[in-house]
Amino acid sequence: MRWDRLRISVSVLCGITLVVHDLPAEAQVIKAGPSSCQAVALTYDLCPVRTASGFDRELVAFLKDHEIPATFFLSGRWITRHAAEVKELLNVPFFEIGTHGEVHAHLPMYEKEKQQQEIMGPVRRLRTQYGRSTTLFRPPFGDYNDQTIEAVKDLGLRFILWNIESGDPDPTLSAEVILTRMQKRLKPGSVIVLHANGKGKYTREVTETLAATLLPAKGLAPMTVSDLLRCNQTTVPLKP
């Protein structure tokens, strides 16, 4: 089954547009998209690893072959070791790229300035080495404190977490267990976290079942994070 990429457009009326949607604009830590959107975001972290392959090529091939939109969060250390794979991901039009810290550190261990250095490492590397700007950031381990929130805001980035944790790196969890717990929590606007660095033994199988069975059964489509957050925007013309 192939998915056509869902493109969200906003019309400009009278030269001025007011964007209105049910995701609070002031939200600083984003865990889900608007509940009015019949879609979910499939997100894959690319953390540095020692014992895994570092890149789940079969998973990525499946997403590409079936044109399934997905968002990848790349750590700086992973980028350094996977130049060819970075280029591959950047060349897929229905993939979106975010960042995941420089060395996958526990950010609350550091003061704000050091946190910003850790956060900006892969952002700068993507911009200088690959000519790609990105504003989506996910903290390693999902670990953060008030200083992290301030640091991300001051850097002009969007703080992306999740509301469904797959647990796919856990070798004790079977695909059936992962899918069962995900199925119970799947709802419009969900952001699902998985891994594409080879640590998830069943990540591809879980992704295939999600795309072929679970999402269609609930009337949900896959989107990138940015498209999900823009989903169901409406425009209200303002008088000149």
* pLDDT score for 3: 55
* pLDDT score for 235: 41
Distance CA 87, CA 229 (A): 25
* pLDDT score for 9: 31
Distance CA 84, CA 177 (A): 33
User: What residues of the chain score a pLDDT lower than 50?
Assistant: 1-2, 4-26, 234-240
| Sheet strands (E) in 75-190 | 95-99, 136-137, 158-160, 164-165
* pLDDT score for 146: 94
Q: Could you give the angle at which helices 112-130 and 146-154 cross, rounded to 10 degrees?
A: 40
Distance CA 159, CA 152 (A): 7
Q: Which domains does the chain have, with CATH numbers?
A: 34-233 (3.20.20.370)
- Of residues 42, 78, 13, the one with CA closest to residue 204: 42
What's the pLDDT tens digit per position in 57-102?
Answer: 999 999 999 999 999 999 999 999 999 999 999 999 999 999 999 9
Strands 70-74, 39-46: pairing kind: parallel
3 state DSSP class of 210: helix
Strands 29-30, 39-46: pairing kind: unpaired
Token digits of residue 63: 């997403």
* pLDDT score for 53: 84
